[in-house]
Amino acid sequence: MTLLEFARGPALTVALTVFIAGTLWRIFRLATRPAPPDRSAPRVDAAAAGALLGILRRFWPHPRFGARIGFSVFIGYLYHIGLAVIVFAYLPHIEFIRKLIGVGWPALPAPVTYFAGGVTMFALLIALMLRLTDPVKRLLSRFDNYFSWLVVFLPVATGMAAFDTAAGGFNQTYIALHLLTVELFLLWFPFGKLMHAGLAFWSRGITGVKYGRRGAMP
């Protein structure tokens, strides 16, 4: 079995299994924590609106904090959007997803996704620099923060390196490494902060409901 066959075969199966089972377990454990009812009389009886507002409002920083956190938010947006473009708009990735789940969609031109890859790597490096140099971020950072950064950065870096411009095609070893780093990402996803991809909506929604019913900013 070659490295590529290993990456495409058993490694992918294990990674996807851990990713799906781990994510479901974490959601199940959180969902089954006790949730005492709020018996206070609501000022505004609109839980769904509160949740929705709470989720949507936090996509953009509160205007009073723009100057203080704007750069950090901007860098965050850069690599989040970049990652979305790479994962969901690059033709080989769409083909990979189509083979996996049977659903596909049109791709963006390859140069656009390569540009997105470059921007993403740059933004991730800036984010790491901020984490290492900002006293607050440095104090708060744990293994999870650095390892999560690594498992996001590696697939982008190996993916960018996989295209052999001289040969006009993909380097198979790099493709194998790329797949393995993606699998590392999948393996780590349920255990660390990467799960904020879904938890962000849940967390914002809870606060949105709570403060929305009080008539406060959700």
Partner 1 sequence: MSLESNRPAPERVAAAMNAFVRDFTRESAVHMDACIRCGHCAQACHFYTSTLDPKYTPINKLEPFLHAYRRTTAPWAPLARLLGAEKGVTLQELESWQELIYDACTMCGRCTLVCPMGIDIAALISRARHGMFAAGLVPEDLRAAAERAENEMSPLGATPKVLEERVDWLEDEHGVKIPLDLPQADVLVTFSSIEIMKYPHSLVAMAKVLKHAGESWTVSTKGYEATNFGMLSGNRDWQHDMSERIIDAAIACKAKTVVLPECGHAYGALRWEGANVHGAPLPFEVVHISEYLASLARKGRLRLKPLAKSLTFHDPCQVSRRGGASEAPREVLAALGVDLHEMGDHADAAWCCGGGGGVVAIKRADELRRGAFRIKMEEIDATGAELLATSCANCRLTFDDGAAYHKWNKSMQSLTELVAERLEG
* Interface map 197-216 toward partner 1 (x if CB under 8 A): --xx-xxxxxxx-xx--xxx
> What are the CA-CA distances from residue 100 to residues 15, 93, 96, 103, 130 (Å)?
13, 10, 6, 8, 36
CA distance 56 to 50: 10
Is residue 142 a contact residue for partner 1 (CB under 8 A)?
Answer: yes
58-87 binders of partner 1 (CB under 8 A) = 58, 61-62, 64-65, 68-69, 72-73, 76
* Interface map 144-163 toward partner 1 (x if CB under 8 A): xx------------------
> What are the CA-CA distances from residue 184 to residues 126, 148, 206 (Å)?
22, 10, 31
Phi-psi region of 215 (alpha: psi -120 to 50; beta: other; left: phi over 0): left
Cβ distance to partner 1 smaller for residue 58 or 93: 58
Q: Which stretch binds partner 1 (CB under 8 A): 1-9, 29-37, 86-94, 150-158?
A: 29-37
> What are the CA-CA distances from residue 85 to residues 20, 59, 130 (Å)?
23, 18, 23
Report the candidate in 95, 118, 120 with the shortest Cα–Cα distance to residue 106: 95
Q: Which stretch binds partner 1 (CB under 8 A): 89-97, 154-162, 179-187, 192-200?
A: 192-200
Within 13 Å and on the Cβ side, how many CA atoms surround 183? 19
Is residue 34 a contact residue for partner 1 (CB under 8 A)?
Answer: yes
Q: Which residue has the tokens 């390859």?
A: 110
Is residue 134 a contact residue for partner 1 (CB under 8 A)?
Answer: yes
Distance of closest approach, residue 214 Cβ to partner 1, in angstroms: 4
Cβ distance to partner 1 smaller for residue 23 or 158: 23
Applying CB under 8 A, which residues contact partner 1?
Answer: 25-26, 28-31, 33-41, 43-44, 54, 58, 61-62, 64-65, 68-69, 72-73, 76, 134-142, 144-145, 191, 193, 195-196, 199-200, 202-208, 210-211, 214-217
